Structure 1
Amino acid sequence: MARAKIADDVGGPAVRAAVAGGAPRDTTATAVRYLLQLLAERAPGNTVEVRVPPFGAVQCIPGPRHTRGTPPNVVEMDAATWLGLASGSLTWEEGVASGAVHASGQRASLEGLVPLRY
């Protein structure tokens, strides 16, 4: 069953609160999921899996489809790093260089896709 889409009037305020800092866990969870939703809408596909445990994951970016087992292209980070990338306060290069972003696979990159508009 597909997860319900987070409406802009719910997701936008959650993102702003989470980026500002000190937001409750449920607000941060909503913000992370909303931004993952926006990423999947911006770059639809099934080539790269973006994971932000424990809040969510999406498959995105057009290309070869992954259907079974561990995806060959995975980008994983914590919520604070994802909020930074999606809001533009952290660049892709900074996230990877610092080790806050773990990217494995030939196509595992969000360069040019973040920051997101919310």
Structure 2
Amino acid sequence: MAAALARVLQAHDAEERPPAEDLRLLVRHSLALLLARAPGRSVEVRVPPYAAIQCVPGPRHTRGTPPGVVETDPLTWVLLAAGRTTWATARESGTLAASGERTDLSAYLPLLPAGDPAGSDGGAS
């Protein structure tokens, strides 16, 4: 996991495209961590094309889309999960859309160790 995170952060810092397999792995892993940290079904977090989960405590719904929806691209999600960008920055830049109640997930982030900004330590702690 640390090596995948290091590769993604290095590619991002070099303004290159991160490896898709690393993004997929990190998105799925970090969403599982979010689900463990914020169990519930009131917010749907979508990171297409890799995964979507329902999380965050709140009113239970039984059909259709939850009352809160968050959607972003894989790189933005990994940067959020690693603490390399903030919720506010992602929203302001338009790379993250959030609508409905309980959709500010900043209290649950970061989820992954950010590691060395240059990625040289592979995210080890």
- Could you tell me the TM-score, scaled by structure 2's length? 0.78
**Separation in 2, partners of 1:66, 1:56:** 20
Displacement of 1:36 after TM fit? Answer: 0.6
- Cα distance in structure 2, aligned partners of 1:105 and 1:116: 22
Match of 1:35 among 30, 35, 38: 30
The equivalent of 1:94 in structure 2 is 89
Say which structure, 1 or 2, has more relative contact order (CA 8 Å, 6+ apart). 2
* Letter aligned with residue 8 of structure 2: A
Larger Rg: 2
SS in 2 for 1:112: helix
Question: Which runs of 5 or more structure 1 residues have no equivalent in the other structure?
Answer: 1-10
User: How many percent identity over aligned positions?
Assistant: 48
Equivalent in 5, 26, 29 of residue 15 of structure 1 = 5
Instruction: Work out which of the residue numbers 70, 80, 93 in structure 2 matches 1:85.
Output: 80
Q: How many residues align?
A: 108
**How far did 1:33 drift?**
0.5
Partner SS state of residue 69, structure 1: coil
SS in 2 for 1:57: strand
> Could you tell me which amino acid in structure 1 is paired with residue 80 of structure 2?
L
- Residues 1:58 and 2:53 are matched in the alignment: yes
When structure 1 is superposed on structure 2, of 51-60 and 18-27 the one drifting more is 18-27
Q: CA RMSD in A?
A: 1.5
**Contact 1:50-1:76 at 8 Å conserved across structures:** yes
Could you tell me the TM-score, scaled by structure 1's length?
A: 0.82
Partner of 1:109: 104
Aligned-residue offset at 1:58: 1.0
Q: 1:35-61 CA deviation, whole Å, 9 max, x = no partner?
A: 111111111111111110000011111
